Chain A
Amino acid sequence: GAVVSQHPSWVICKSGTSVKIECRSLDFQATTMFWYRQFPKQSLMLMATSNEGSKATYEQGVEKDKFLINHASLTLSTLTVTSAHPEDSSFYICSARLGGGQETQYFGPGTRLLVL
């Protein structure tokens, strides 16, 4: 149980284009999902908390107009990197919280983004 998927697993795009990444909880409903970014040899950096049916909460320094988050259902959250630039190239990982009073987060496999 507690499986989280992400799609796509990797994407290469041209500078200036937008990229959408999907995060799905496959066997449970997740009222809260999280989006992280990880640069090589660095730790996870929380970008935003995504709550179903409400606006995402962004961490300090993360541009909400650049990283659009939508959590339209209890099993799906999307992250759209708008007008991507090479410095946005990173490993984007989502996680979903099991809920029911448990804080446990289960991670998706991640999406590797390369912006040329």
Chain B
Amino acid sequence: QKEVEQNSGPLSVPEGAIASLNCTYSDRGSQSFFWYRQYSGKSPELIMSIYSNGDKEDGRFTAQLNKASQYVSLLIRDSQPSDSATYLCAVEGPGGYNKLIFGAGTRLAVHP
């Protein structure tokens, strides 16, 4: 079992719709969770961090965390073509040590 799993996609949504990206992780002790966006040919950029169960909203983005289910998600409301990118889920590595374990990423395509 991979430590951080994401559906590779592509996830295709129409402009204006809600895009839902999901991620599961294997280390029950993880405390820190992150979503990064990576455009083709570019490095990842941080979108959201979440540390507590529940929802965290920032503009059009909402991160959701359920530690009991070992599940973290990212919702993008009013999706725009500029949101088309690969979204990487990252989870604090086993035992801390500051490492982040990245999922393979989900490719999102927002079509006009």
Interface residues of chain A, those whose CB is within 8 Å of chain B, are 32, 34, 42-44, 46, 49, 93, 97, 102-110
B76 within 8 A of A: no
Known A-B contacts A43-B88, A43-B103, A43-B104; A103 and B98 likewise in contact (beta carbons under 8 Å): yes
Q: B99 and A104: CB pair below 8 A?
A: no
Q: B97, B98, B105: which has the most chain A beta carbons within 10 Å?
A: B98
| Residue B49 interfacial (CB < 8 Å) | yes
Given that A43-B103, A43-B104, A97-B98 are contacting pairs, would A108 and B92 also be in contact in the complex, using a CB cutoff of 8 Å?
no
Q: B98 near A104 (CB under 8 angstroms)?
A: no
Shortest CB distance B86–A (Å): 9
Q: Please, how many angstroms separate the alpha-carbon atoms of A107 and B1 in the complex?
A: 27
Given A104-B34, A107-B45, A32:B98 Cβ within 8 A: yes
Interface contacts beyond A102-B49, A103-B92, A107-B45: sample of 18 additional A-B pairs, CB < 8 Å, sorted by A: A32-B98, A34-B100, A43-B88, A43-B104, A43-B105, A44-B102, A46-B100, A49-B97, A93-B43, A97-B98, A103-B100, A104-B32, A104-B34, A105-B90, A106-B46, A107-B44, A107-B46, A108-B43
On B, residues with C-beta under 8 Å from A are 32, 34, 36, 42-46, 49, 88, 90, 92, 97-100, 102-105
Give the 9 A-B residue pairs with the shortest CB-CB distance, closest first. Answer: A103-B32, A110-B43, A43-B104, A107-B43, A93-B43, A44-B102, A107-B44, A103-B92, A109-B43
Q: Is the interface of A mostly helix, strand, loop or mixed?
A: strand
Measured between C-beta atoms, what is the minimum distance from B29 to chain A in Å? 13
Which residues in B have their C-beta under 8 angstroms from that of A103? 32, 34, 49, 92, 98, 100
Complex alpha-carbon distance, A26 and B42, angstroms = 19
Between A44, A93, A109, the greatest number of chain B beta carbons within 10 A of the residue's beta carbon is seen for: A44
Cα separation A112 to B88 with both chains bound (whole Å): 20
What residues of chain A lie closer than 8 Å to B43, measured between beta carbons?
Answer: 93, 107-110
Inter-chain contacts of B88 with A (CB < 8 A):
43-44
In the complex, residue of chain B having the shortest beta-carbon distance to the beta carbon of A31: B98
Chain A minimum-CB-distance residue to B8: A43
